[in-house]
Amino acid sequence: MSSSLHSARTRRSLAAPMLFASLDRGLQAHLLRGAILRRFTDGQIIQQRGEAADGFWLIEEGAVTIGQFGPDGQFRAVALLGPGDSYGELAVFARRPRIVDAISRGNSSLRLIGAKAFLDALGNYPASMRALLAALSEQLQDTLGQLAGLRRGTNPKRLAGLLANMAGNEEDAAQIAITQQELADLLGVTRATANAALRELQKRKLVTRGYGCIAIPDRAALALFALE
């Protein structure tokens, strides 16, 4: 494995805030005290579509890929999450079975926050309820924006937007630990199409490809290209 991969970081693929992060810190601490710590190895299934939503997950270490297994058994990723991110809250609110599968990307540590403990405690923190509504609204706007981008954007521009988002707000050069297959899954295209989009971005000197990682020398320039 190259040294460039060691220096790269796994970064979340979503722009919208996660729901747990929007909660009052007192409520966060209360929920964490009763949360169960679980450890997973690379490729291990954390949750499966159709399971009862008995709680939601908070990632402490490592990364998790969210998506669905298709009829052919292949996993199609839709999001990559990292430390501090949470998922599964919507299924808890809806009291419906889970609609996504989740797989550990590398070794990971997560806490399962019980549905009953969460819903019971939430009533004592009205400010957190308002914050949750704001976070949910932002997630919906982000989703609608992605859907609009699927219709109007070229693959290089869509990829530029995804990578710029994963780079976060860093002003310095960023290194993202991600494979071409993962990028293809997140974009909903074939690996060959994702590779062609990467070549276009590299031709424009917006990214540099490494073994299992993508280097972004100027995040602002990459983001600007995505919006042109």
pLDDT digits (tens, 9 = 90+) for 88-140: 988 898 889 999 999 999 999 999 999 999 999 988 888 888 888 888 877 77
The overall average pLDDT reported for the chain is: 84
Alpha-carbon span 224 to 217, nearest angstrom: 13
Which one, of 12, 58, 22, lies nearest residue 136 by Cα? 22
How much is the pLDDT for 138?
A: 77
User: Residues spanned by CATH 2.60.120.10 within the chain?
Assistant: 11-149
Instruction: Give the DSSP letter of residue 110.
Output: E
User: Residues spanned by CATH 1.10.10.10 within the chain?
Assistant: 154-227
Domain 154-227 coded CATH 1.10.10.10: yes
Which one, of 197, 186, 103, lies nearest residue 156 by Cα? 197
How much is the pLDDT for 192?
A: 93
Average pLDDT over residues 192-201: 92
Quick one: pLDDT band at residue 1, thresholds 50, 70, 90? very low
How much is the pLDDT for 117?
A: 92
Alpha-carbon span 57 to 108, nearest angstrom: 12
How much is the pLDDT for 2?
A: 34
Which segments of the chain does DSSP mark as H helices, in order? Answer: 3-7, 25-33, 89-94, 115-122, 126-152, 155-167, 180-187, 191-203, 219-227
Average pLDDT over residues 208-228: 85
Q: Are 121 and 27 contacting, i.e. CB atoms less than 8 angstroms apart?
A: yes
% the chain with pLDDT above 90: 35
Residue whose pair of structure tokens reads 């981008």 in the numeric block: 149
Amino acid at 79: A
Decide which of 162 and 115 is more confident: 115
Decide which of 166 and 150 is more confident: 166
Residue 42 pLDDT exceeds 90: yes
**For 11-149, which CATH superfamily applies?**
Jelly Rolls (2.60.120.10)
Q: How far is CA 223 from the centre of its chain?
A: 18
Residue 4 pLDDT exceeds 50: no
Highest mean pLDDT range out of 18-22, 83-87, 172-176? Answer: 83-87
How much is the pLDDT for 3?
A: 35
How much is the pLDDT for 7?
A: 46
Instruction: Tell me the per-residue pLDDT of 47-84, one tens digit each, with 9 for 90 and over.
Output: 999 999 999 999 999 999 988 888 888 888 888 888 88
How much is the pLDDT for 189?
A: 86
Range from 72-76, 121-125, 171-175, 195-199 carrying the lowest mean pLDDT:
171-175
Residue 132 CB coordination number (10 Å): 18
Q: What is the dihedral of CA 111, 112, 117, 120, to 10 degrees?
A: 100
